[in-house]
Amino acid sequence: MSFPDSSVLQNFPATLHHRNAKIFTAHPFDQSAQLAIQKLIDTRQPLQDRVSAPLKGMENNLFAKSQPLDSLRPKLRVTLGRAKSDGTFDWPVEEVINTLGAQQRDAPVAGLYGFGYRKSALGLIQEFFIFTKLLDGYLNGLEWLKQERDIQSLITVSFKLLHALHCKGIVHMDFWANNVMINLDQPTQAKAIDLENCFLTASDYLTEVLAFQFGFYYRREIFRFVIEEEYDRRVSEEVAKYEGIDRHRFNEMYALSKHENISRRARREIFHKGTVVTG
């Protein structure tokens, strides 16, 4: 396979071949990691549903995601390194590109350990693997909330993380509590995960992008734990930290994003055009 940026593969020179799979990592495999990855590949015969869990045998070190490509078009695109008609790449490829880019900017994200694929008998990639460094000693936002029952602190650390990502030029369009990993020893510190729906460039529509991000964060479960008026007050205070925000445009997109379903594809329209189609 190939990437639009050849430096992606250059950053992962170590390779592991096992059965019909090939895995790329930044550093040579130690025995435990190699055995754990080989076991994962073995358990994926035949093809099964996606995996998103700590890597068995390396539970304290690595997190594994496996994404089957379930139709011919994505298999061809990923195998040949081609983009979709809208210029984007399939989600697993996007996640590798975005996570590596964020890591290179020293952004607060889970580090990328490696990635790879498994091919069919016809030579087409039919499954994609991503391995990130496990955030040991962290909990996702909703699990942390169950433990600590402090919604205001969760909102504070999440908004701090969102601002830190923007300062690094990273626009996370799937920013919700479960993609915020909180450090249990230092609960004012957090890292972001699941960067497949992200951009590594600034948007010409920061007002609408921020409005969506704050609205989406509320819609994805947070509305269950906080009074809407109190959340609106917190957002208004936070938005003041960003320059050039048009409050009228912000409020319109924010209200929509809090209460309407906005698909992943539609979120890209917000980033590129400042407009949205709901439903």
- Each residue's pLDDT expressed in tens, for the chain with a length of 279 residues: 667 667 888 899 999 999 999 999 999 988 899 999 999 999 887 667 888 989 988 877 899 999 899 889 999 999 888 888 888 888 899 999 999 999 999 999 999 999 999 998 889 999 999 999 999 999 999 999 999 999 999 999 999 999 999 999 999 999 999 999 999 999 999 999 999 999 999 999 999 999 999 999 999 999 999 999 999 999 999 999 999 999 999 999 999 999 999 998 899 999 999 998 876
CA atoms within a 13 Å half-sphere pointing along the CA-CB vector of 145: 19
Element (H, E) at 47: none
Question: Whose CA is closest to 116, among 32, 34, 5?
Answer: 34
In the block, tokens 């093809």 appear at 47
Question: Whose CA is closest to 94, among 77, 106, 108?
Answer: 77
Per-residue DSSP letter, 109:
B
Tell me how far apart the terminal alpha carbons of the chain are, to the nearest angstrom: 35
pLDDT at position 4: 64
Contacts of 21 (CB under 8 A, 6+ apart): 41, 116, 117, 118, 119, 129
Q: In a 10 Å sphere around its CB, with 0-12 CB exposed, 13-18 middle and 19+ buried, how is residue 138 labelled?
A: buried
Per-residue DSSP letter, 126:
E
Task: For residues 242 and 209, give the distance between their C-alpha atoms in angstroms, rounded to a whole number.
Answer: 12
Contacts of 38 (CB under 8 A, 6+ apart): 16, 18
Q: In a 10 Å sphere around its CB, with 0-12 CB exposed, 13-18 middle and 19+ buried, how is residue 272 labelled?
A: middle
pLDDT at position 279: 65
Q: Label the pairing between strands 125-133 and 62-68.
A: antiparallel
Give the burial string for 116-137 (b: 16+ CB within 10 Å, else e): bbbbeeeebbbbbbbbbebbee
Q: In a 10 Å sphere around its CB, with 0-12 CB exposed, 13-18 middle and 19+ buried, how is residue 201 labelled?
A: exposed
Contacts of 178 (CB under 8 A, 6+ apart): 140, 141, 142, 220, 221
pLDDT at position 45: 72
Task: For residues 160 and 188, give the distance between their C-alpha atoms in angstroms, rounded to a whole number.
Answer: 9
Tell me, yes or no, if the pTM score tops 0.85: yes
Question: Whose CA is closest to 118, among 178, 182, 51, 170?
Answer: 51
